[in-house]
Each structure stands twice: as structure tokens, then as C-alpha cells.
Amino acid sequence: MSEKNVEIVRQLVELFRNFDLKSEGAAVGEDEAAAATEFFHPDFELDATRAPMPDLRGKFKGLTEPAVFWSKWLEAWDSVEFEDELTDAGEHVLAAITPMAMRGKGSGVAVEFPRHWHVFTLRHGQVVHETIFFDEAEALEAAGLSE
């Protein structure tokens, strides 16, 4: 089951990576939302309480609120490139995200964004919870990978 969980998260990361930031408004479009929705449980919760952007901190529930969160986050960027490393942790998948290049929309200024981790919790082939961490030890503990 856990290999399947890693594959589901890999597909989600690729959907995010391939999102067209050049599109008008850079909001998550209907096509992207429909493609991603199949991976999420209707009661999905995104915990972004640790986000470095105060106006985006919070918990976002269901399918609509998290999509609004990501749309608002993406609105700030002209380009986002990152490397990812996925680690199988049973019902959890740890995604280590290393931003490579991020440019502010309009300004074109390169922004250094810190390495961060997403812990996805999956049940019955759907993501039920995702938490964003900016501390590796916290992320490892949440994924059940700490010593």
C-alpha cells in the first residue's frame, strides 16, 4: 500500500510542478483542480499554520479551501522550480522540497525560499491530511521517521 501512496504523492507533485504560472491570474484552474481532486478525500485538511507568509497561515479544509490557499500562494510567483525527494513512511509520505529558482511576479526578483517538508497522510488511496513544515526534525517526527 505504501508504494501506492508514494506514487499518488508523486503525481500530485508533478501536477503542481507543471502548473502554468504564466496563465492569467495564476489561479488553480478547473482542469488542475479536477485532476487533483481524485487524489484527495472530501474531508481533506491542509495544515499551513507554519507557513512563513502570515497572511496564508491557517488550516484549510475540504477541497475548495486548500485550492484557494495554493492559488493565493501561486499568485506571488512568476516562476517556481524545485527538486523533491519522497520518502515512504507507511500511511505517511514525506516530501522534502528544495526550491531551486523562484521569481516574484511583476518584479522578477529572485527569492530564496527555504527548504521545507510536506507530510501527506493517506488512507484508502486518498490524501486525508497534509502538513507543511519548515523544521526537518518536526517533519520527520510527524511522518514517524524520527529516531
Residue 90 has φ and ψ, to the nearest 5°, of 75, -115
Residue 144 has pLDDT above 60, yes or no: yes
In the prediction, which pLDDT does 50 show?
Answer: 96
Q: Residue 27 — very low, low, confident or very high, per pLDDT cuts 50/70/90?
A: very low
pLDDT tens digits along 104-141: 777 877 778 889 999 999 999 999 999 999 999 999 99
Across the strands, what pairs with 137?
none
Q: Which of 26-30, 64-68, 74-78, 142-146 has the highest mean pLDDT?
A: 142-146
pLDDT tens digits along 35-63: 677 899 999 999 999 988 889 999 999 98
In the prediction, which pLDDT does 47 show?
Answer: 98
Mean pLDDT of the residues in the chain: 85
Q: Please state, as a whole number, how many other Cβ atoms lie within 10 Å of the Cβ of residue 58.
A: 14
pLDDT tens digits along 73-99: 877 777 777 899 999 999 999 999 998
* CA separation for the pair 76, 86 (Å, rounded): 26
* CA separation for the pair 62, 133 (Å, rounded): 20
* CA separation for the pair 22, 108 (Å, rounded): 13
Whether the model clears a pTM of 0.75, i.e. scores above it, the answer is: yes
Going edge to edge, which strands form the sheet with 59-61? 59-61, 40-47, 126-133, 116-123, 92-104, 77-89
Q: Are 76 and 104 in contact (CB under 8 A)?
A: yes
Domains and CATH numbers, the chain: 2-142 (3.10.450.50)
Q: What is the residue whose three cell numbers read 515512504?
A: 88
